A and B are shown apart, each in its own frame.
Chain A
Amino acid sequence: MLEIVTFSLLNGIVYGLLLFMVSSGLTLIFSLMGVLNFAHASMFMLGAYVSYQIGRWIGFWPALAIAPLVVAGIGALIERYGLRHVHRQGHVAEILFTFGLAYVVVECVVMVWGRNPIENRVPAAIDFPAFWIYGTSYPAYKVLMMAISVGMFAFLYLAFRRTRLGLVIRAALTHPEMVAALGHDVPRIFVLVFAIGSALAALAGVIGGFALLTEPNMAAALGPIVFVVIVVGGLGSIGGAFLASMLIGIVQTFAVALDYSLLDLLTALHLTLASDSAFHELAAVKVAQAAPLIPYLLLVVMLVFRPRGLFGTREA
């Protein structure tokens, strides 16, 4: 039992950190520009595919550094030559633009790498057991995933708190007009933040690509969960996004390990439910089966009881 708890907790933390890497970029872009970027999960997918390709050419370690940079460049181009033009038409047009972009990115990925999942294996360099607990090994690449995400956040936190550029970006989050009046190029800050957010998502894609399945559907699978994270955490709150990511990551991982249903609970309490009753099917659903539902249930519960999210400053 303790073994299951430990492993679920470790895997949950890895998954939660991955979610946070994607959702922190989304929340950053949202709070600076007010844009709900539907193509954000597409950047995650691009990160996985691009790193796979570069990894095949020149190896995993350079790919780990180059792929996020390539995707950051793509993000910057999207902001500069796409989003900036729809900006004056309002937020709905911006959302629709990124929504259309998500369609196109999926098809472009299909055009380059095909429709089937690619064989994005864990690179040999990090494919060994990191440590043993309870007689079972824990793979090194998951440890690396944790290390990279934590290291990235430490770096970003310091960059935002201790550098002049970080100061300007933080100022632009709350007072864009004042920052522009002081002579800073706010549109360029938009491009920069969009690129940073894309790079974060891509980095998550690089290390998440071989943990999850690298296929054209992976953006559509992750995207909605990331949106749930930023609503539950509170729109625009990085701390909230962190807490919500960990919460969803850990709860969902534990749920997958639970092979019980409401029916089992009722049986344990010596209650019986007629097998032809309408609720029988509902009660027979195992928690593990219902795991994909959990983030969205959390979203609805949150909206009913605390619409502003965990740490939100404005009401959702």
Chain B
Amino acid sequence: MKAGGLAGAAADRPPIAHALVSSRGAPWLAAAAALVVLPYVPGLDGNFGRSLLSQMGIAAVFALSYNLLLGQTGLLSFGHAVYFGLGAYASIHLMRAIDGGLPVPMALVPVAGAASGLFFGMLLGAVTVRRAGVVFALISLGIGELVFAAMRILQGFSGGEEGITANRGLGPHPFGFTLGPQIQVYYVIAFWTMVSALLLSAFLRTPVGRMCNAVRDNPERAAFVGYDPVHVRLVAFSVAAMFAGLAGGLHALNYEIVAAEAVGAGRSGAVLLMAYIGGVQHFFGAVLGAVVITWLQASLSDYTTAWQLYLGLFFIAMVLFAPGGLSGLLLMHRPILRTRAFRRVVRAYAIAAVPAAIAACGAVALLEINYRRATQPDAGAIVRLLGRDLDTSTPWPWLAALALLAFGVLLLRPCVARVRRAWADASEEARSHAGQGAAR
């Protein structure tokens, strides 16, 4: 009997193992393992790769904090960089104090950023969260401009456009952690990224975290069950500001310099784009957006100066056609993953990818030729594209690019129809499976 009982318990899994292996714990363990291993993966194990990973970590914390605002509480902010930047300034001033002899390990500097973010979040949040929606968006924009203008004027505190610097190598070195090599900085950033993600995810499971969603969906009803929407928004706003400040602290630690642009509208816009392109309906969407955008930015900016144009077009395309973002697009496939028709969907995707790539080549060539002629007039009519010199004083490069674009678009239309048909079949099959499951 006893043995049988144990076997039964094992089948039900003991609680700790259950938490680790169940759908809640497993992704976290996998993420932690990935964070440890990633800087040694070939291709990412150089200085460029490790600094790219560090940037991704910073962006991920910032985007996660933004997702708490937009995704969970429904507050569209155009000034979230204020808290990032003020956290970064608090951190860089602490770093300077450590350089001056304060006995605090540098790895704890982001805590100062978080504290600063929380303080200013509560202070400015009290003015801004009274209304949600369009009005909140306007006010956040105004506050962002106010803080940016103030930072440019207060040169002694902020260093203005040039910024202020500090040295992360000084201070006490516990366990021989000097923060000299990029790999050590990366692990500090990875640690704080993991901590932030866990804490934010835990926050969303608390009653007030659930109320954030309620206030987003129906503030009147939330008020009716006894929660003041303004108060709930203020809590969410302050917590988001705290994590933005922490991301700012990581930024200060990574770059050892903070300038006025850290609180600027450009950075506020960038985090909005990251969080939205990643998808605001899922927690991991923000991380996905941060990783993809940071990677694209780092790898594309070597090849083209028109990077902002592509980002803007990509963003508009997402708003128009995929409001769920990248994570929404991925998770859309979950119900049809097990169906037989799914293979046809994949095949249709593969076929459609060919004309899409042709059209994209044509469009990119067209944009690049125009862009380079406008921004580099000294270079003359010769535009170097994909290792080939094109003489743009003749109409041929333009015509060729236009032809590619038109050809691609023309071929794409039947392919899209094919994807649609495969999709319809697959979801039909998934529905009938679900129906059978329910009937059993």
Contacts and interface: CB of A to CB of B under 8 A. Distances in A.
Interface of A: 34, 36, 82, 85-86, 89, 91-93, 95-97, 99-101, 103-104, 106-108, 110-115, 220, 224, 227-228, 230-231, 235, 281-282, 285, 289-290, 292-293, 296-297, 299-300, 303-304, 307, 315-316
A93 B308 contact: no
A23 to B, nearest CB: 12
B40 interface: no
Contacts, number: 127
Contacts of A220: 265
Contacts of A106: 308
6 contacts: A110-B375, A224-B141, A296-B142, A299-B139, A303-B128, A307-B131
B157 interface: yes
Contacts of B320: 82, 85-86, 97
Contacts of B272: 96, 99
Contacts of A92: 74, 76, 133
B236 to A, nearest CB: 16
B205 interface: no
Contacts of A89: 323
Contacts of A34: 134
B127 A304 contact: yes
B351 interface: no
A303 B127 contact: yes
Interface string B65-103: 000000000101010000000000000000000000000
Interface of B: 74, 76, 78, 127-128, 130-131, 133-135, 137-139, 141-143, 145-146, 149-150, 152-157, 265, 269, 272, 276, 306, 308-309, 311-313, 315-316, 319-320, 323, 367, 370-371, 374-375, 377
Contacts of A304: 127
Contact of B319 (A97, A107, A113, A316): A97
| 5 nearest A-B residue pairs (beta carbon) | A103-B312, A296-B146, A107-B309, A100-B316, A104-B312
Given A34-B134, A104-B316, A113-B374, A281 B156 contact: yes
Contacts of A97: 316, 319-320
Given A101-B316, A106-B308, A224-B145, A111 B137 contact: no
Given A103-B311, A110-B374, A96 B276 contact: yes
Contacts of B76: 92, 95-96
A281 B142 contact: no
Nearest to B155: A281
Given A103-B269, A224-B265, 7 more contacts: A36-B137, A36-B138, A110-B374, A224-B141, A231-B139, A281-B157, A296-B143
B315 A100 contact: yes
Contacts of A100: 312-313, 315-316, 319
Contacts of B308: 103, 106-107
Contacts of A112: 370, 374
B135 A115 contact: no
A155 to B, nearest CB: 29
Nearest to A278: B157
Contacts of A114: 374-375, 377
Nearest to A299: B142
A115 B141 contact: no
Contacts of B269: 99, 103
Contacts of B142: 224, 227-228, 231, 296, 299-300
Given A111-B367, A224-B141, A95 B134 contact: yes
A281 B157 CA distance: 9
A115 B375 contact: yes
A235 B135 contact: yes
B149 A111 contact: no
B78 to A, nearest CB: 8
Given A104-B312, A227-B138, A293 B127 contact: no
Contacts of A285: 153-154
A240 B374 CA distance: 41
Identify the interface centre among A36, A92, A110, A112: most chain B CB within 10 Å of its CB: A92
Contacts of B154: 281-282, 285
A140 to B, nearest CB: 33
Contacts of A230: 138
A97 B269 CA distance: 13
Nearest to B145: A224
Contacts of A108: 309
B309 A104 contact: yes
